[in-house]
Amino acid sequence: MRRPHLLTGFVPARGGRRAGFDLEDVAQADYALEQAMGGDLQPLADRMRSGKKLLPEERGIAADFLDGTRAIKNPDHRPASDETRKQVMLLALAVWQRMKLGETEKLAVEGVSEAEGKSERTVRAAVQAHPEMFEGMKRRVRARM
């Protein structure tokens, strides 16, 4: 084995599982596998059609899809966009401002709902999404019987 290059941070390695693959091939294969697990088979199909050498994981997943032992999975719930998170934060902030001026939480939620044209349920969900804003504020809680 060759000696490591001291100043470059590069240590040469031989063989291994992915011998014969360059970094770009491995990155494309990882992307294709990730997309296939999420339900998008197009990148994997493109790699198969390109004639490039496939990783064993790619061949295994392709075979599983072809013989039906692996079903296409629906993608997970996508995360909220930055714009949606900003709108939720602004609704919670509007309720916080009204409560700071002395309104109860119920009146503040109703007022913001009416002013912003949103349902009360949406405004309450925004308040519940940001409990850290309302720590230490008086929030009337209905006593349970």
Domain ranges of the chain: 23-67, 82-134
Does 49 have pLDDT greater than 50?
yes
pLDDT tier for residue 122 given thresholds of 50, 70 and 90: very high
Specify the higher pLDDT residue, 129 or 78. Answer: 129
* Token pair for 119: 């349902």
pTM: 0.46
Ordered DSSP codes for 75-121: PPPPPPPHHHHHHHHHHHHHHHHHHHTT--HHHHHHHHHHHHT--HH
Residue 22 pLDDT level (bands cut at 50, 70, 90): confident
The more confidently predicted of residues 138 and 84 is: 84
